[in-house]
């Protein structure tokens, strides 16, 4: 398993923890990291993802909810919700990662940690967001500061988890 996959999985777990605590804060994130410290090679991308999602969570949630037919965020599983937050953040702010890679990674992580239906559910929503952005029907919520910070934090490491990259 590549370092980015490990970082994505740990980021999903951190966001899951905060979601279950109903506390998306740096303090809650710190408690998670105190118990589940990422390995040094995983840490930069892990921090890039979690801090990025925390920085624009409300906008990410609005976008996911907009493209999920008949599903509010509260009705979605906690795994699916947080996997999609990460994937949409990657689409929005990680310009060095192709959309196809972000979507495939989200689907695989959803299948691993979610239900039998998680992969198709995540794929449908995130790919709809990607298509809407490409057609100009939607905009992704990435403040310029988040894009700059995340690129520097990760050091531009290539995504080694997928042959498509």
Q: What is the structure's pLDDT at 143?
A: 62
Instruction: Give the model confidence (pLDDT) of 53-99 as tens digits.
Output: 999 999 999 999 999 988 999 999 999 999 999 999 999 999 899 99
Q: What is the structure's pLDDT at 43?
A: 96
Q: What is the structure's pLDDT at 37?
A: 86
Q: Is 56:92 a contact under the CB 8 Å cutoff?
A: yes
- DSSP secondary structure string for all residues of 14-53: HHHHHHHHT--SHHHHHHHHHHSPPPTTTHHHHHHHHHHH
pLDDT band at 144 (very low <50, low <70, confident <90, very high): low
Rounded Cα gap, residues 108 and 1, in angstroms: 12
Which domains are assigned to the chain?
3-153 (1.10.940.10)
Q: What is the structure's pLDDT at 16?
A: 97
Q: What is the structure's pLDDT at 139?
A: 83
Instruction: Give the model confidence (pLDDT) of 101-124 as tens digits.
Output: 999 999 999 999 999 999 999 999
Q: What is the structure's pLDDT at 112?
A: 97
CA angle in degrees (0–180, nearest 5) for 83-25-60: 40
Q: What is the structure's pLDDT at 161?
A: 42
pLDDT band at 146 (very low <50, low <70, confident <90, very high): low
Q: What is the structure's pLDDT at 1?
A: 72
Q: What is the structure's pLDDT at 160?
A: 43
Q: What is the structure's pLDDT at 163?
A: 31
Instruction: Give the model confidence (pLDDT) of 16-65 as tens digits.
Output: 999 999 999 999 999 999 999 899 999 999 999 999 999 999 999 999 99
Host H or E run for residue 9:
helix 3-21
56-62 long-range Cβ contacts below 8 angstroms, 24+ apart: 56/89, 56/92, 56/93, 56/141, 56/142, 56/143, 56/146, 57/24, 57/85, 59/141, 60/84, 60/85, 60/88, 60/89, 60/92, 60/141, 61/85, 62/141
């Amino acid at each position: 398993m590549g370092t980015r996959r490990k970082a994505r999985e740990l980021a999903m777990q951190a966001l899951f923890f905060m979601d279950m605590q109903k506390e998306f804060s740096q303090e809650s994130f710190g408690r998670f990291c105190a118990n589940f410290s990422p390995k040094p090679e995983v840490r930069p991308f892990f921090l890039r993802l979690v801090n990025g999602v925390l920085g624009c969570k409300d906008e990410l949630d609005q976008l996911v909810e907009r493209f999920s037919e008949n599903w509010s965020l509260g009705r979605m599983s906690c795994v699916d919700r947080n996997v999609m937050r990460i994937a949409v953040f990657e689409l929005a702010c990680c310009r060095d990662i192709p959309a196809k890679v972000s979507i495939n990674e989200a689907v695989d992580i959803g299948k691993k940690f979610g239900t039998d239906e998680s992969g198709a559910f995540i794929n449908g929503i995130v790919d709809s967001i990607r298509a809407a952005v490409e057609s100009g029907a939607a905009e992704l919520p990435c403040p310029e500061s988040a894009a700059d910070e995340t690129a520097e934090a990760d050091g531009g490491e290539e995504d080694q988890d997928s042959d498509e990259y």
